[in-house]
Amino acid sequence: MKHLLKISDLTADEFLYLLDFSQKLKKQNKEKTPHPLLAGKTLGMIFNKSSTRTRVSFETGMYQLGGYPMFLSASDIQLGRGESVYDTANVLSRYLDGIMIRTYKQSDVEDLAVFGNIPVINGLTDEHHPCQALADLLTIYEHIGALKGKKLAYVGDGNNVAHSLAEGCAKAGMVFSVANPKGYECNESIIEQAKHDASETGGKIEVTNDPQKAVFGADAIYTDTWVSMGQESEKEERIKTFMPYQVNKKLFSYAQPDAIFLHCLPAYRGFEMTADIIDSPFSAVFDQAENRLHVQKAVLATLMCGEPK
């Protein structure tokens, strides 16, 4: 494991190892046990897309690991403004011990990994959100006590979060049932790869346009905002299209009686879900947000120094 570019690049063992390592680091954090695994290391954090959770969790994670996080906005570096990814990757490799990038094109993340010689972590692209999926599955494990054989239903836009969840569930041997409106389905090639990976772990990937079918018997129900960054001009049309996919009490009634609710945030009450769902006792959205810190620390430590024996 040299980089974290997308979940499908990992073996099932690597994926489950990261979840296990995350739990160890979380326990140490709760017990106030210092774990400076990255003392003297510097992480460059490139943000072409702004974020609350990604920036704060990565910065805090690096500090807790004893390292130094360096925030680099689009105006701070020349990437995308004339300097090639090749040159940027080679220059940053001379200064830093690792790169986290949150950007638009998956190809930029892939190229940084190819042309540089330090670990690269995908903080989000338009196609993938691997750190979020790791946090999500850790949250499911904590609340349900297992992953293999459990069903996660995703209702809404077939976006980067849905893609990484499909890949993560496949690695964990889970059932992933995704319901999207017609015209807003997940990327077909990503789903086909997830189906292939699921066949090796005992998992299953189900694709439908029917939200009730997707949610039926689910152990966890997940949704995301209908209007992501850069889609503001489509807001009215998207709200009209996605309203039948709103996660509300009626839709939730098709799931298991003890099912949990998940959302990667930011959330918009009255749209992708109702307030009585996200603010209920069975909502785990803030556990998800916290777990971004712990899984990212596991990724950082694994890539930048390896877990100590």
Q: Is 132 an active-site residue?
A: yes
For residue 236, give the amino acid letter: E
Residues 3, 64, 97, 102: which is the catalytic one? 102
The residues pairing with 44 across neighbouring beta strands, listed in sequence order, are 70, 99
Q: Which amino acid is at 122?
A: N
| Per annotation, catalytic residue among 9, 136, 157, 224 | 224
Catalytic choice (264, 288, 296, 305): 264
Examine residue 266 and say whether the peptide bond preceding it is cis (omega within 30 degrees of 0): yes
Q: Annotated catalytic residue: which of 3, 53, 128, 129?
A: 129
Catalytic site includes residue 305: no
Residue in the structure block whose two tokens are 């789903």: 191
Give me the long-range contacts of 77-82 (CB less than 8 A, separation at least 24): 77/46, 79/46, 79/48, 79/108, 80/48, 80/108
For the record, the structure tokens of 108 come out as: 């930029």
Check 53, 238, 292, 294 and give the catalytic one. 292
Distances (CA, A) of 42 to 54, 119, 300: 17, 12, 11
How far is it, in rounded angstroms, from Cα 289 to Cα 139? 9
Written as six digits, the tokens of 34 are: 């210092």
CA distance 236 to 268: 14
d(CA 251, CA 212): 6
102 is catalytic: yes
Alpha helices per DSSP H over the chain? 12-30, 53-64, 85-95, 106-115, 130-144, 160-172, 188-201, 211-215, 235-242, 249-252, 275-278, 285-304
What is d(CA 171, CA 9) in angstroms, rounded to the nearest whole number? 10
DSSP secondary structure letters along 35-58: --TTTT-EEEEEESS--SHHHHHH
Whether 261 and 273 have beta carbons less than 8 Å apart is answered as yes
Is 224 among the catalytic positions?
Answer: yes
What are the residue numbers of the active site?
102, 129, 132, 224, 264, 292
